[in-house]
Amino acid sequence: MRKPFIAGNWKMFKTTKEAVAFADEFKKLYEQSDVLAGICAPYTQLAALVEAFKGTGIKVGAQNMHFEENGAYTGEVSADMLNEIGVEYCVIGHSERRQYFNETDETVNKKLHTAFKHNILPIVCVGEVLEERDAGKEFDVVKTQMVGALKDLTADQVASLVVAYEPVWAIGTGRTATPEQANEMCGYIRKVIEDIYGDEVSEKVIIQYGGSVKPNNATELMNMEEIDGALVGGASLVPQDFIQIVNF
């Protein structure tokens, strides 16, 4: 059985002081259960969050990392830097990274290889834009992204992977894929993995849905057969909202 994983993606919000205040409040609300919870935060907050969540079971993730070990990459952060402060997860290939910072399927794949090399578990994001869905190309787009991301990964690496299906048209828009749409695509993603690595591997992969997940729609989404959790944006910024999603 796959353990559901609800991860918050704070994007470019909160100071370190605000992050610690969130952690202090969230710890009071959170009880370890059959659902894994985590926060993916800006770089400046990561060390403080790792410390604040120590012993709670709440995971901490980065939102990006470079695929090189080190080098003249001003403004970037390496896997070793994340390892040093105890970060366990990293979001890779988020649509905003693709849209604003020229992330490609090739760089996503390089980052996955580097993350696994350094024992950081990737949350790899895939999803189509509105024009692609309206044109009926959503499955082709997601398959291309998945095949590109998984290139040359081992079966063991893929089995430990987290995939977040995020239809770009539903991120921060208030518009959510219907539970049926989300479930259909998550099931399709699992089939793509099965076709490459077999069902023993595909059945272990956690596949999240992300895209305007809120307390009022989380239960319906999370109860769909193929959805194993959520990558939550705005609703993860408020402890009382995020805990409702974690406790779906």
- In a 3-state reduction of DSSP, which class is residue 207? strand
**Is 11 annotated as a binding-site member?**
yes
Residue 226 and residue 156: Cα distance in Å, rounded? 21
| Helix/strand/coil for 122 | strand
Which DSSP symbol is given to 223? T
- Model confidence band, residue 171 (pLDDT cutoffs 50, 70, 90): confident
217 annotated as ligand-binding: no
Quick one: tokens of 177?
A: 């894929």
Tell me whether residue 86 is annotated as binding: no
pLDDT, averaged across the chain: 96
- Domains annotated for the chain, with CATH where assigned, are 5-246 (3.20.20.70)
Q: How confident is the model at residue 172 (pLDDT cuts 50, 70, 90)?
A: confident
| Residues recognised as catalytic | 94, 166
Read off the pLDDT band of 222 (50, 70, 90): very high
Confidence of residue 177 (pLDDT cuts 50, 70, 90): confident
Q: 234: annotated binding-site residue? A: yes
Confidence at residue 124, expressed as pLDDT on a 0 to 100 scale = 98
C-alpha to C-alpha distance for 92 and 164, rounded to whole angstroms: 10
Tell me how crowded residue 41 is: count the other CB atoms within 10 A of its CB: 27
- Whether pTM > 0.85 for this model: the answer is yes
Yes or no: say if 42 and 14 are a contact pair by the CB < 8 Å rule: yes
Q: Report whether 3 belongs to an annotated binding site.
A: no
Residue found by looking up tokens 């402890």 in the block: 239
Query: For position 58, what pLDDT does the model report?
Result: 97
pLDDT at 192: 98
pLDDT at residue 174 is higher than 80: no
